[in-house]
Structure 1
Amino acid sequence: MDPIVIGMIGVAIMIVLLVLGVPIAFAMAVVGIGGTAMVAGLPQTLSQVTLVTWDKGTDFIIVCIPLFIFMGQLTATTGIAADLYQFLQRWMGRMRGGLGIASVFACGGFGAVTGSSVACVATMGTIVYPEMKRYGYDPRLATGVLAASGTLGILIPPSLAFAFYGTLTDTSIAALFIAGIVPGIITMLIFAGIVWVRCLINPALGPIGPSFTWQEKFASLRGILPIAIIFALVIGTLYGGVCTPTEASAIGAAGVVIVSLVMRRLTWANLRKALWETGLVSAFIFAIIVGGYLISRFLAITQVTDLLVNYVTVLNPSKLQFIGFMVVMYLVLGAILDVFGMTILTLPFIFPITTALGIDPIWLGVFIVIMTEVALITPPVGVNVFVMRGIATDVPMGQIFRGVMPFLVGEFVLIGLLVAFPAIATWLPQMMK
């Protein structure tokens, strides 16, 4: 059978497996191994599986993934994230919608140490939603702003999504982290603006919060110090070129442990929980990475990737046309796949085409992460919405989805800005050189 036909059949089988709910790593590995065996023979395939598993499992750069996960998990379990919100609440709570605005910046701050969207919304949702409910916030606004702001966890560095993308494409992870800073700040400002405007139009959505004395406000400043120290350790060493991403992740993880010890927050229970969650998430990501490389090699030897790249090249689309295609594609895939699944499934096809079109790989990484942000709050899957529903059990799922819609519009505004002004993503990384 023609290798290209085998490749097409393999892609079709993988799509069917994904629709049936088969885990993405397993689906890619099965198709990658089975398809390669049909083309190259079983002995060569088994040798390749061993080589890929060993090569990727021992890649030094991948060590940063579990270290960043551990950093975020320990920050959550030791209560450092709660201190950050308390600081923001005391300074912003008296504004209309102040608790909602505080939650946006709290998610951004926590995103600076966690790197995970789900962890961000789960942690901040548990801390913030009871407070917003207590002060009479509209349930749709309260749940919507938390579900949407949780997406900042994969945009604000250090980001697992950027580390994942950089690993797959051999793009500088340090540059990707730095590239996420400006879009992350713009996202926070857009989301905070949405909350402020909505509460200005309808004050009942976000009543004025509690008042605090100046002494209490200044006392809360210590709540922002741990996050600021950890962020400075990681991003400062990366931006200054002092450390590699792996070294920076080790410094960040050690920094969280030291800060937790100084604050007397570190217990054996907290440490065990953080290590256990780190192991689970890391194993999931590593399985996807190995499965992704297996399917990528299968598509390469069957020449499916080359066929698609040549076809698109013949069509000669403009950059804007292809970006429009990617927006639609990621919206569709977001209905059935998670962040890592979307990234690893599309990159073997997308990356060669964007390279041929002259699209900056750093810009592409930021674009893909923002599109996965959109997928996290878009029905029917909307992982962040489901996590928020588990916290706000009194709010129907439909109400939460309606609550995130204004923020979904804000995400598309950000995408428009990114397309119109690519320097939003590329300016800071270029300053590193």
Structure 2
Amino acid sequence: MEPLTIGLIAMAGMLLLIMLGIPISFALLAVGAIGMFIVSSSMYAETQLLLNLMEQGTNFSLLAIPLYLLMGQLVYRTGLAGDLYSGIYRWIGRLPGGLAVASILAAAGFGAVSGGSATAVATLGPMCMPEMRKFNYHGGMSAASIAIAGTLGILIPPSIFMIAYGIWTETSIGALFLAGIVPGIILAIAYSLVIVVICTIKPEMGPVGERFSWAERFSSLVNLAPILLIFGLIVGGIYGGIFDPTEAAAIGVVGVLIISLVMGRLNIEVLRLALVGTSRTSMMIFMILLGGHVISRFLVLTNISSTLVDYIVGLGLGVFGLLALLTLMYIVLGMILDIWAMLILTIPFVFPVIVSAGIDPVWFGVYIIIMCELAAITPPIGLNVYIMARVAPEVPVGQIFLGIVPFFFTTLFCLVIFTIWPEIVTALPTYAFQR
């Protein structure tokens, strides 16, 4: 049997395993190892497994993942995330849909120190929903705004998914972090405008919140300071060339520890819970990364990637046609796969194609993260939506998905803008690394 045929059968088998509920890391490792054994030999398969385990286990860049996860856990456990939301709420709560807008901006701020999407939703949902219920917000609007807000956590640096993309594609993680800042801000503003417009047209969707005095507003700025300080320390250090993203993660953790200790919020129990949560998630991500590298080595043997590249290049679609095709593909994949599965199964095929088309890998990293955002809210998988359904069981899942629709198309519109004017994404990292 031809290696290409074996590769196609293996990919179909892997998709079946994932759909049957087998953890994606185990599915990747099993299919990759068995595939290498069949195509090459048992010695080759054993050698590749050992080499990949050693390579990933000693990869300095991977240290950033548990460190950023720990930073997010500490921010959540010490109540700094709650302070962030309350501080923003006091300033914009009187806008139409102001509470929902506050959740968008708080998620952007929380994403700046957490690096995850689901974590942001699980953290902000229990804080934001009670306030929105108090002011009789529409259930679908409330839950959808928090679900979409959480997606900003994987775009605004630091981002765990950007680290993974950078490692897989050998793209500068520091450049990816800087590239995500402006698009993240633009998306946060766009989502906020959508809420304000909807709630202006239909005030019953999101009534204005309570009024705060100017003294209360200015005093709330103290609540914003810790997050802004940590974000400025991380991004400023990377932008200034003082330290790399991994070193920035360690400095960020130390910064959160010092701030929470000074505020009297750090104790043994908080530290224990943060470390346990970080360990579980880090191990899951490490196994997925290992599996991704193993399956990539197998795909090289089958020539699937090169065959696909030759086929797509032969279509002569051009850059815009290629991106339109990829966008459609990722929307469909987002309906059946979670974010990690979508990234791992597509990057080995897609990245060589975009390189051959002359697309900037840093720009494409931001593009693919935005497509991951859509996967987090696309039915029937939509992880963020189901997290919100658990946080707000009184709101039907279908109603949340319906509330997501305007945000979904807003994201696609912004993506078109980033495609027409790619310098929106690339200007900051270009300036930072070419000074």
TM range (shorter): over 0.9
Give the distance between the partners of 1:209 and 1:2, measured in 2 at CA: 65
> Deviation at 1:304?
1.6
Give the distance between the partners of 1:100 and 1:6, measured in 2 at CA: 50
Give the distance between the partners of 1:18 and 1:372, measured in 2 at CA: 18
1:141 paired residue number? 141
> Deviation at 1:226?
0.4
Structure 2 stretches lacking a partner, 5+ long: none
1:431 paired residue number? 431
1:200 paired residue number? 200
| Superimposed CA distance per residue, residues 248-285 of structure 1 (whole angstroms, 9 cap, x where no aligned partner) | 00001111111110111112111111111111111111
Instruction: Point out the more displaced range, 168-177 or 204-213.
Output: 204-213
> Deviation at 1:316?
2.5
The one-letter amino acid paired with 1:58 is T
Give the distance between the partners of 1:207 and 1:44, measured in 2 at CA: 64
The one-letter amino acid paired with 2:93 is G
> Deviation at 1:426?
0.6
Name the Cα RMSD after superposition: 1.0
The one-letter amino acid paired with 2:387 is V
Give the distance between the partners of 2:280 and 2:337, measured in 1 at CA: 19
The one-letter amino acid paired with 2:363 is W
1:69 paired residue number? 69
Give the distance between the partners of 2:75 and 2:94, measured in 1 at CA: 27
| Superimposed CA distance per residue, residues 176-211 of structure 1 (whole angstroms, 9 cap, x where no aligned partner) | 000000100110111110111011111111112111
1:317 paired residue number? 317
5 Å matches for 1:147-162? Answer: 147-162=147-162
Please tell me whether the aligned partners of residues 194 and 407 of structure 1 are also in contact (alpha carbons under 8 angstroms). yes
2:16 paired residue number? 16
The one-letter amino acid paired with 1:74 is L
The one-letter amino acid paired with 2:328 is V
> Deviation at 1:336?
2.1
Please tell me whether the aligned partners of residues 18 and 336 of structure 1 are also in contact (alpha carbons under 8 angstroms). no
> Deviation at 1:223?
0.3
| Superimposed CA distance per residue, residues 318-376 of structure 1 (whole angstroms, 9 cap, x where no aligned partner) | 11111111111111111222212111110100000100000000011000000010111
- Where 2:69 maps in the other structure, the secondary structure is helix
> Deviation at 1:149?
0.8
Instruction: Point out the more displaced range, 15-24 or 377-386.
Output: 15-24
5 Å matches for 1:64-143? Answer: 64-143=64-143
1:409 paired residue number? 409
> Deviation at 1:2?
2.1
Give the distance between the partners of 1:430 and 1:201, measured in 2 at CA: 41
> Deviation at 1:317?
2.1
Give the distance between the partners of 1:85 and 1:306, measured in 2 at CA: 48
The one-letter amino acid paired with 1:265 is R
User: Could you tell me the TM-score, scaled by structure 1's length?
Assistant: 0.98
2:283 paired residue number? 283
Give the distance between the partners of 1:377 and 1:287, measured in 2 at CA: 25
> Deviation at 1:315?
2.1
2:392 paired residue number? 392
5 Å matches for 1:287-302? Answer: 287-302=287-302
The one-letter amino acid paired with 1:137 is Y
The one-letter amino acid paired with 1:239 is Y
Give the distance between the partners of 1:134 and 1:215, measured in 2 at CA: 24
| Superimposed CA distance per residue, residues 370-416 of structure 1 (whole angstroms, 9 cap, x where no aligned partner) | 00101111100100000001101111111111111111111111111
5 Å matches for 1:2-401? Answer: 2-401=2-401
The one-letter amino acid paired with 2:19 is V
The one-letter amino acid paired with 1:122 is A
Between the aligned residues of both structures, percent identity stands at: 46
2:419 paired residue number? 419
> Deviation at 1:94?
1.7
Give the distance between the partners of 1:200 and 1:231, measured in 2 at CA: 33
> Deviation at 1:21?
2.3
Give the distance between the partners of 1:380 and 1:3, measured in 2 at CA: 34
Give the distance between the partners of 1:219 and 1:89, measured in 2 at CA: 13
> Deviation at 1:313?
2.3
- After the TM superposition, which parts of structure 1 deviate over 3 Å for at least 4 consecutive aligned residues? none
> Deviation at 1:19?
2.3
User: Could you tell me the TM-score, scaled by structure 2's length?
Assistant: 0.98
The one-letter amino acid paired with 1:24 is I
Give the distance between the partners of 2:369 and 2:327, measured in 1 at CA: 12
> Deviation at 1:144?
0.9
Give the distance between the partners of 1:411 and 1:325, measured in 2 at CA: 17
Give the distance between the partners of 1:205 and 1:2, measured in 2 at CA: 58
Give the distance between the partners of 1:4 and 1:379, measured in 2 at CA: 32
